[in-house]
């Protein structure tokens, strides 16, 4: 879990992959939403709010809260769900093409998926006859992101189009991978700030697959809900640590260079991946019972940062640069040599950088009472061999955190650039 910051939600503005607040005068997307600011007894999001509300009789009814109106754009230079702020709920699902399905069927599927994503992200009704579970909600920052796995290209006769950056990840000594929950021909990431909106998108995507593809694996995740803290802050993981302090930021001059494939791909890059990115997906189980036996001081030494505010043990605030040479009165390094935050620093890994955008997960309690919980680690980079791989190799050689986590599944996916108006995701690959 490299020590880089989770992306902050951007100031609403139109543009590819960015969130915007839908104007109140736009029609209510899925169905007329319940309640208006003037409805009797309805004051939401303020102290002393009265209980109860009435159905709004007006066609101009507004969403119940601002969360519902937040909207990410489907069409754009990059796919959504990469630079957008963290969402409260997420689903990751991988598909394998059905026997006999090839390039033609894959193209038709991506066309269906793209149209479904466009509609649902705009808050429009699904074309499916379903339970209409999200009928009362607005877009709720819904994003859908699509990628191709290594095996997809052989299945569709497109081996010559498979980028070198999609070569299988090397084995790591800390891996305990379940092959049935790893990789896949196709990958879909779904995120939203409302659980029912996210679930509705998951069902729609599954229905769209029809006979062309079947689910290989599926995982559910969550993050802190927007507005749950008194001020915006970096998220915490299930170990209670502030997680993601040093994420590259879109405002940095070399952000696009490190996270996205160039618009004019370099030698060896696939042209159809222009403006795309590569997603490494890892299900990392946290051994919480063992972790919680440590004192707070011991936990901080493992990470290299204070648990309370995420500041480096060398002092300052969360964003203060870590002093790797600082020692205590006894001459010991303040940030231990095997601290997770020290090992994952980009300047300690040849500048290797990745944009982390994870979800936490909790899938119940094992028979022995141990929680099956941890991190659905998702990181984005222009080239995983220069981003994820060197950092993970270094972690493999002596990360203090390694005895408290277990990598249980893994996947690498090529995520092409965003679809322009009238196009579908992956069209340049499948029709090129």
DSSP result, 231-280: S----B-TTS-B--TT---TTSTTHHHHHS--SSPPTTS-GGGTT-EEEE
Place of tokens 């996210």: 198
Cα separation values, 154 from 158, 252, 371, Å: 6, 37, 38
Closest CA to 183 of 106, 293, 283: 283
Q: Count structural domains, the chain.
A: 1
378 neighbors 359 (Cβ within 8 angstroms): yes
- Contact residues for 200 (Cβ-Cβ < 8 A; gap 6+): 120, 126, 130, 133, 134
Q: Other CB atoms closer than 10 Å to residue 302's CB: what's the count?
A: 22
Work out whether the CA dihedral 339, 342, 343, 345 comes out positive or negative.
positive
Q: Examine residue 220 and state whether it is found in any structural domain, yes or no.
A: yes
Q: Other CB atoms closer than 10 Å to residue 155's CB: what's the count?
A: 21
Based on DSSP, count helices (H) and strands (E) in the chain, helices before strands.
Answer: 10, 11
SS3 at position 144: strand
User: What residues are labeled active site?
Assistant: 243
Cα separation values, 137 from 72, 186, 232, 355, Å: 15, 28, 23, 29
What pLDDT is attached to residue 3? Answer: 54
Q: Examine residue 38 and state whether it is found in any structural domain, yes or no.
A: no
How far apart (Å, rounded) are the C-alpha atoms in residues 22 and 71?
6
Closest CA to 5 of 338, 317, 383, 339: 317
How far apart (Å, rounded) are the C-alpha atoms in residues 231 and 312?
21
Closest CA to 412 of 83, 81, 148: 148
Q: Examine residue 258 and state whether it is found in any structural domain, yes or no.
A: yes
Q: Examine residue 18 and state whether it is found in any structural domain, yes or no.
A: no
Tens of pLDDT along the chain (432 residues) come to: 555 544 444 444 444 444 444 443 444 444 434 333 333 332 333 333 333 323 333 445 555 668 899 999 999 999 999 999 999 999 999 999 999 999 999 999 999 999 999 999 999 988 888 888 998 899 999 999 999 999 999 999 999 999 999 999 999 988 999 999 999 999 999 999 999 999 999 999 999 999 999 999 999 999 999 989 998 899 999 999 999 888 999 999 999 999 999 998 776 679 999 999 999 999 999 999 999 999 999 999 999 999 999 999 999 999 999 999 999 999 999 999 999 999 998 777 777 889 999 999 999 999 999 999 999 999 999 999 999 999 999 999 999 999 999 999 999 999 999 999 999 999 999 998
What pLDDT is attached to residue 35? Answer: 37
Q: Examine residue 255 and state whether it is found in any structural domain, yes or no.
A: yes
Q: What is the pTM of this model?
A: 0.85
What pLDDT is attached to residue 268? Answer: 66
Range of the domain at 418: 71-424
Q: Examine residue 215 and state whether it is found in any structural domain, yes or no.
A: yes
How far apart (Å, rounded) are the C-alpha atoms in residues 327 and 18?
43
How far apart (Å, rounded) are the C-alpha atoms in residues 426 and 79?
11
Q: Examine residue 55 and state whether it is found in any structural domain, yes or no.
A: no
Q: Examine residue 39 and state whether it is found in any structural domain, yes or no.
A: no
């Amino acid at each position: 879990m490299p020590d880089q910051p989770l992306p902050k939600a951007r100031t609403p503005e139109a543009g590819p992959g960015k969130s915007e607040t839908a104007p109140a005068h736009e029609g209510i997307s899925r169905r007329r939403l319940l309640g208006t600011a003037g409805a009797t007894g309805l004051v939401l999001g303020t102290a002393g709010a009265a209980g109860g509300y009435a159905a709004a009789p007006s066609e101009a009814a507004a969403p119940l809260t601002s969360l519902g109106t937040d909207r990410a754009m489907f069409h754009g230079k990059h796919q959504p769900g990469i630079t957008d702020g963290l969402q409260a709920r997420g689903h990751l699902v991988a598909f394998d093409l059905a026997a006999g399905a090839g390039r033609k069927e894959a193209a038709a599927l991506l066309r269906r998926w793209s149209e479904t994503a466009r509609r649902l992200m705009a808050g429009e009704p699904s074309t499916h006859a379903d339970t209409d579970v999200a009928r009362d909600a607005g877009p709720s920052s819904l994003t859908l992101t699509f990628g191709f796995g290594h095996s997809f290209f052989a299945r569709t006769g497109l081996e010559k189009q498979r980028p070198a950056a999609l070569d299988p990840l090397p084995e790591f000594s800390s891996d305990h991978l379940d092959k049935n929950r790893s990789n896949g021909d196709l990958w879909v990431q779904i995120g939203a700030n409302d659980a029912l909106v996210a679930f509705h998108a998951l069902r729609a995507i599954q229905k769209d697959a029809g006979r062309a593809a079947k689910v290989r694996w599926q995982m559910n995740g969550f993050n802190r809900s927007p507005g749950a803290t008194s001020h915006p802050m970096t998220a915490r993981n299930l170990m209670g640590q502030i997680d993601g302090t040093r994420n590259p930021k879109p405002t940095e001059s070399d952000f696009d260079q490190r996270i996205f494939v160039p618009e004019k791909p370099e030698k060896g890059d696939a042209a159809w991946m222009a403006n795309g990115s590569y997603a490494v997906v890892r299900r990392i189980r946290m051994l919480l019972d063992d972790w919680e036996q440590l004192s707070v001081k011991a936990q901080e030494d493992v990470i290299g940062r204070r648990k309370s505010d995420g500041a480096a043990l060398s002092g300052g605030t969360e964003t203060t640069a870590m002093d790797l040479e600082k020692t205590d009165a006894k001459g010991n390094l303040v940030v231990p040599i095997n601290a997770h935050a020290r090992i994952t620093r980009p300047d300690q890994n040849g500048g290797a950088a990745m944009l982390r955008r994870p979800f936490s997960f909790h899938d119940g309690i094992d028979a022995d009472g141990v929680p099956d919980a941890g991190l659905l680690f998702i990181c984005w980079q222009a080239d995983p061999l220069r981003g994820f791989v060197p950092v993970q190799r270094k972690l493999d050689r002596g990360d203090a955190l390694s005895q408290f986590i277990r990598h249980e599944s893994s996947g690498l996916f090529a995520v092409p650039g965003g679809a322009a108006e009238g196009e579908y995701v992956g069209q340049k690959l499948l029709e090129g």
